[in-house]
């Protein structure tokens, strides 16, 4: 099946620094990628939707200047958490959607655990 990878799998950083998380579709082209955030035992919260070659669409309440998303190619999207603070500590999960024959299915990445000290 389709595989989505994320890098890094976990990161610890100091408050005020920026962290970049990569999401790659390994064996298919993803026209759309989604970024989610998850707190323990809670639903995935959609942060933004990114389409290759265009600006990301952010959900209400998500600061676009803080969470920079770049979808430069059909297999790579990046999320940069700028000036991270402890409250940004969370599990960030991406998914990639493959458009095939008009249907689209999301494939989820393994997640990146961010801890901001």
Residues that bind another protein (CB under 8 A): 1, 9-10, 34, 36, 41-46, 91, 93, 105-111, 113
Residue number with CB closer to another protein (19 or 47): 47
Q: Shortest gap between Cβ of 112 and another protein (angstroms)? A: 9
Minimum distance from CB of 107 to another protein (Å)? 7
CA separation, residue 99 to residues 4, 42, 87, 96 (Å): 15, 28, 35, 10
Which of these, 44, 5, 48, 2, lies nearest to 23 by C-alpha position? 5
Strand, helix or coil at 25? strand
Closer to another protein by Cβ: residue 20 or 113: 113
Q: Which is nearer to another protein, 1 or 61 (CB)?
A: 1
**Do 107 and 25 contact (CB within 8 A), yes or no?**
yes
């Amino acid at each position: 099946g389709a595989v989505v990878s994320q890098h890094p799998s976990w990161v610890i950083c100091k408050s005020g620094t920026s962290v970049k998380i990569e999401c790659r579709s390994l064996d298919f082209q993803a026209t759309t990628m989604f970024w989610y955030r998850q707190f323990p035992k809670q639903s995935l919260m959609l942060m933004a939707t990114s389409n290759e070659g265009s600006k990301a669409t952010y959900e209400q309440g998500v600061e676009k200047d803080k969470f920079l998303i770049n979808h430069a190619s059909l297999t790579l999207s990046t999320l940069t958490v700028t000036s991270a603070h402890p409250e940004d500590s969370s599990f960030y999960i991406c998914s990639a959607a493959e458009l095939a024959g008009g249907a689209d299915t999301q494939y989820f990445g393994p997640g990146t655990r961010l801890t901001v000290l």
